[in-house]
Amino acid sequence: MKAPTVPEHIKPAHIECTKEDIAEVCIMPGDPLRAKYIAEKFLTDAKLINRARNMFGYTGYYKGKRVTVMGHGMGMPSVSIYAFELFYYFGVQKIIRIGTCGGLKPEVKVPDLILATQSYTESNFAYTYNGDPTHVAYPSKALTNKIKAKAIEKGLSFHEGAVLCTEQFGFYSDNQNVLKRVPETIDLYGEEMETFALFHLADSFDKEAAAILTVVDSAYENTFLSIEQRERSLDTMIELALDSI
C-alpha cells in the first residue's frame, strides 16, 4: 500500500534545511548526539544541516561518497516522522538504521551484530499509517544483501533474523507476555522499537531501508552496557553501514 499524500501547503515540520542539503543515502542512529559523533569521527567536510528540535543532521563525505547522518529519536512515532519527511520532501532513496537492541536468543551475545531480515510488531502502526493491517515488515532485500556482503568481506560475525519491534522499552513493560504472543513462525533474534515503522514507510514509498543492530543487553546475560560502553562498542556497526553505501 502506498504512502499518504500530504496537502500541498504542509511543509516539513521537523527538518529545517533545503532538499539539496540532504544526500540520497541516509544513515540514521536513534541518538542525535551519535549522529554528531559519526559526522565528527567518520565524515569529511561534514556540515550541520538540521538542528530543529535538537535532532542533529549532518551531510558530508565518506570515502568520497556523499552521505547524510541524522538522528531519528526513540520509538516508531519518532522514526516515522523523520523517515517520512526524508522520503517525501527531501528525496532520500536509502536509509540504514544503526541502533541498539536486546538479544532474545542464548547464542546472541553482547555486543553481537544483528542484520534484521524482518520486523514483527503488535502495534497497529501500519493500519493507522495507510490502512494496511499487517504486523510484519521487511527491509530492502538488495540493501540488506549489500550490507551482508560487506560484513562478510570485512570478516565480521553477525546474526541474521527477525526482530521484535515494541512500543515500550522491554525492561519497563510486561515483555514476557508479549513474547508469548509472537507467532511461532517468527524466529526472533532481537528486540527494539523502530524497525517496523522504518521498513513499512520505505516500502510505501518504494524506497530502500535496512537495519543493523548492536546487542547491548540480553535476556540470557546479566550484562547491560553503560552509555559510555555503548558508544565505544558501536563503531563496528557504524563503519559497516558507511562501507555499505
Burial of 167 (0-12, 13-18, 19+ CB in 10 A): middle
User: Does 217 qualify as catalytic in the annotation?
Assistant: yes
Angstrom distances, CA of residue 9 to CA of 5, 13, 45, 135, 201: 12, 12, 34, 32, 22
> What's the confidence (pLDDT) of residue 198?
98
The enclosing domain of 138 has a CATH number of: 3.40.50.1580
Residue tagged active-site, from 45, 217, 235, 243:
217
Q: Which domain holds residue 27?
A: 19-243
User: Is the sign of the CA dihedral 122, 94, 139, 202 positive or negative?
Assistant: positive
Residue 6 lies in a domain: no
Residue 108 contacts residue 187 (beta carbons within 8 Å): no
Question: Tens digits of per-residue pLDDT, 185-201?
Answer: 999 999 999 999 999 99
Q: What residue type is 103 in one-letter code? A: G
Residue 103, pLDDT score: 95
The residues near 114 (Cβ < 8 Å, ≥ 6 apart) are 101, 108, 158, 159, 160, 161, 163, 189, 190, 212, 213, 214, 215
Instruction: Provide the number of structural domains found in the chain.
Output: 1
C-alpha cell at 222: 546479566
Judge whether 5 lies within some domain: no
Report the 10 Å Cβ neighbour count for 146.
18
Q: In the prediction, which pLDDT does 171 show?
A: 79
- Is residue 10 included in any domain, yes or no? no
Q: What is the pLDDT of residue 166?
A: 96
Q: Residue 100: what residue type? A: T
Q: What is the pLDDT of residue 136?
A: 98
Please check whether residue 167 lies inside any domain of the structure: yes
Cβ(205)–Cβ(88) below 8 Å: yes
Report how far residue 36's alpha carbon sits from residue 31's, in angstroms, rounded to the nearest whole number: 9
Task: With respect to residue 9, please indicate whether it lies within any of the assigned structural domains.
Answer: no
Of 74, 68, 110, 104, whose CA–CA distance to 87 is shortest? 68
Chain segment 112-153, per-residue pLDDT in tens: 999 999 999 999 999 999 999 999 999 999 999 999 999 999
* Spans in the chain with pLDDT lower than 70: 230-232
Q: How far is CA 229 from CA 18, 215, 217, 219, in A?
A: 35, 12, 12, 18
User: Which grid coordinates belong to 232?
Assistant: 565505544
> According to the model, what pLDDT value does residue 232 have?
66
| 110 is a domain residue | yes
- pLDDT for residue 117: 98
Asked if residue 84 is part of any domain, the answer here is yes
pLDDT value at residue 174: 87
Does some domain include residue 178? yes
